Amino acid sequence: MKSCRRLRLSMNERDAIRLRHMLDESYKVQQFLDGQTRSALDTNDLLAYAVRYALQIIGEAAAQVSTETRNQYPQIQWKDIVGMRQWLVHGYERVENDIIWNTIHDDMPPLIEQLETILSPPDADA
């Protein structure tokens, strides 16, 4: 990953990589669900697994972001993102597709926007 000047000044490279993983997996979820309806999560096991796995990666990457970087970007719902990962991994027998669908449609667009802003090159802000 190419690190931009702003990233080097504001966070360590490991955190920048983790944020990039979060953004990349968020894009994948959007791609997986493009043109799909809510019922697809119930009827298409492959889709449901792909979405859940991507959400787990997002949560794991978020869990590995340093406290310093988390504090620098309080607008990101770190605790909720990590909590989703915990629920998917440890509460797998209670996973509800309605919650997954709502999370993706309500919470993921602002997360993507926030991550894009954080990871954008400095000249992109001009």
Instruction: Give the whole-angstrom CA distance, residue 73 versus residue 85.
Output: 20
Query: Reduced to 3 states, what is the DSSP secondary structure of residue 84?
Result: helix
pLDDT digits (tens, 9 = 90+) for 10-21: 578 999 999 999
Range of the domain at 108: 5-119
- Domain-located, residue 126: no
Assess whether pLDDT exceeds 70 at residue 5.
Answer: no
Q: Is the pLDDT of residue 8 over 60?
A: no
- 126 pLDDT higher than 70: no
**pLDDT tens-digit map of 21-64:** 999 999 999 999 999 999 999 999 999 999 999 999 999 999 99
Q: Is residue 34 part of a domain?
A: yes
Looking at the domain assignment, is residue 124 inside a domain?
Answer: no
Confidence grade of residue 94 (pLDDT, cut at 50, 70, 90): confident
Q: Is residue 125 included in any domain, yes or no? A: no
Nearest to 17 by CA among 83, 64, 50, 52: 64
pLDDT band for position 124 (cuts 50, 70, 90)? low
| 6/43: higher pLDDT | 43
What gap in Å lies between CA 124 and CA 105, rounded to an integer?
Answer: 26
Name the domain count of the chain. Answer: 1
